[in-house]
Structure 1
Amino acid sequence: MPDFDKIDRAILAAIQQDGRIPIAKLAERVGLSETPCARRLKRLESDGFIIGYRAVLSRKALEIGVIAFAQVRFSIHDRALSDRFEREIQGIARIVSCHNISGSADYLLQIAARDLDEYGVFMRDVLRALPGVTAVESILSLREIKRDTGLPLL
């Protein structure tokens, strides 16, 4: 990344905070004129540093009252079974994120639900029915202390 400098980092930091920041304001914030700033932003996009833009939605307004983390275990560690599991979870909107992890579980899922009843039905009818799943341990979030604010620019 020879062309990745402090201005590029400043651009990335600014758009992580506000993906809709006007180019004029972004340019001012990073100390460039608009045209060079727009060029750098376009380069960061085309080089794959920026893979998309999205809105941060309100859980309260959407009435999502439960955020749970589920540790999923497999008893058989078969590549085809894992691949099938990973494909199937891609289509389940309620699963906010999924990580293949080390330790006693195979996957860690973040799941959103309106309430505990809805989460329980999801666990019974969807999660436990996924290919390869032999055990699930739920961890309920009581309060969110820090929300995903973007990646650190190390």
Structure 2
Amino acid sequence: MKPGKQKVKIDGIDKKILRYLIQDARRPILEIARNIGISGAAIHQRLRKLEKSGLLVGSNFIIDPKVLGYTTMAYIGIFLDKAMSNPSAVKELEKIPEVLECHYTTGNWSILIKVLCKDNEHLMFLLNKKIQQIEGVSRTETFISLDQQINRQISI
């Protein structure tokens, strides 16, 4: 947990609301209210409280990248020449739209990123012409994901 983030206490009703919304974020508030047995206004108040606490962070539509032609997902471990290179390397990685996630890690790599590419050729271009060209990157190690078998949020 990042410094400054407070732990949030949620009760049984909050958990029920969250479970409904995790299943389908477009589910009508009044339907949730009927199922739980409280008013729609009470649901709205609780949702505002959860948003204000930082527990709920936005609501998003999920785009299926395969429909847009992005079929290669890979995880790339990045070795930096020195730890001081991290902030500037991350700034450069932020400029690459194919980079979906970036993690500062323990272990062999300094950084672990998740990328999405159209195909292996696109991945090779990304590695050779963009990522490995970043100042401070000494080498990379790439793992191609053959299939995402589990995709879920934390359970409430």
User: What TM-score, normalized to structure 2?
Assistant: 0.87
Aligned-pair CA distance for 1:6: 1.6
The match for 1:137 among 138, 141, 145 is: 141
Specify whether residues 55 and 129 from structure 1 end up closer, same or farther in structure 2 by C-alpha distance, changes over 3 A only: same
Aligned-pair CA distance for 1:122: 0.7
- Where 1:145 maps in the other structure, the secondary structure is coil
Aligned-pair CA distance for 1:104: 0.7
The match for 2:50 among 40, 44, 51 is: 44
* Counterpart residue identity of residue 143, structure 1: D
**Which deviates more from structure 2 when the two are superposed, residues 106-115 or residues 10-19?**
10-19
Q: Which runs of 5+ in 1 are unaligned?
A: none
Q: Which runs of 5+ in 2 are unaligned?
A: 1-6
How many percent identity over aligned positions?
23
Aligned-pair CA distance for 1:2: 7.3
Write the mapping of 1:18-97 to structure 2, written as runs, cut at 5 A: 18-78=24-84, 81-97=85-101
**Equivalent residue, structure 2, for 1:150:** 153
- Where 2:113 maps in the other structure, the secondary structure is strand
Write the mapping of 1:107-146 to structure 2, written as runs, cut at 5 A: 107-146=111-150
Deviations, residues 112-143 of structure 1 (Å, cap 9, x unaligned): 00000011001111111123211100000111
CA RMSD between the two structures: 1.7
The alignment of Structure 1 onto Structure 2 pairs a total of residues equal to: 150
Distance in 2 between the 1:45 and 1:30 partners? 20
**Which deviates more from structure 2 when the two are superposed, residues 20-29 or residues 114-123?**
20-29
- Where 1:98 maps in the other structure, the secondary structure is strand
The match for 2:105 among 92, 101, 111 is: 101
Distance in 2 between the 1:47 and 1:35 partners? 18
- Is the Cα contact below 8 Å between 2:8 and 2:53 reproduced in 1? no
Aligned-pair CA distance for 1:97: 0.7
**Equivalent residue, structure 1, for 2:3:** none
- Where 1:130 maps in the other structure, the secondary structure is coil
